[in-house]
């Protein structure tokens, strides 16, 4: 009877240790998941900022292209005027 009781206590102790180890692994995985989620959230925020910057850059590029085109057109008109006057 004592041997059986001792065996049950040992088994209960082993189960307790296994349970604690699994809980520890579970906590570690939970922490890793939380860290990954934080990194994902930061990456999403950075992506939004970059997309906003790209849109601004495209608008700026478009405006600059338009201004350059207008300036070139003005220069061409002036050069044509000089050619006409010089002839």
The range of the structural domain enclosing residue 37 comes to 1-61
**44 lies in a domain?**
yes
Say if residue 87's pLDDT is above 90. no
pLDDT score, position 1: 79
Q: How many domains does the chain have?
A: 1
Distance (Å, rounded) from C-alpha 48 to C-alpha 57?
14
Judged by phi (left if over 0) then psi (alpha if -120 to 50, else beta), residue 52 lies in: alpha
pLDDT score, position 76: 95
pLDDT score, position 70: 95
**33 lies in a domain?**
yes
Q: What does pTM read for this prediction?
A: 0.60
Average pLDDT over residues 68-78: 95
């Amino acid at each position: 009877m004592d041997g059986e009781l001792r065996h049950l206590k040992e088994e209960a102790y082993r189960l307790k240790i296994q349970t604690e180890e699994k809980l520890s692994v579970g906590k570690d995985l939970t922490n890793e998941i939380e860290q990954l989620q934080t990194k994902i959230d930061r990456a999403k925020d950075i992506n939004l900022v970059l997309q906003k910057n790209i849109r601004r850059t495209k608008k700026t590029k478009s405006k600059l292209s338009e201004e350059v085109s207008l300036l070139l057109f003005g220069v061409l008109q002036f050069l044509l005027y000089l050619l006409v006057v010089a002839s």
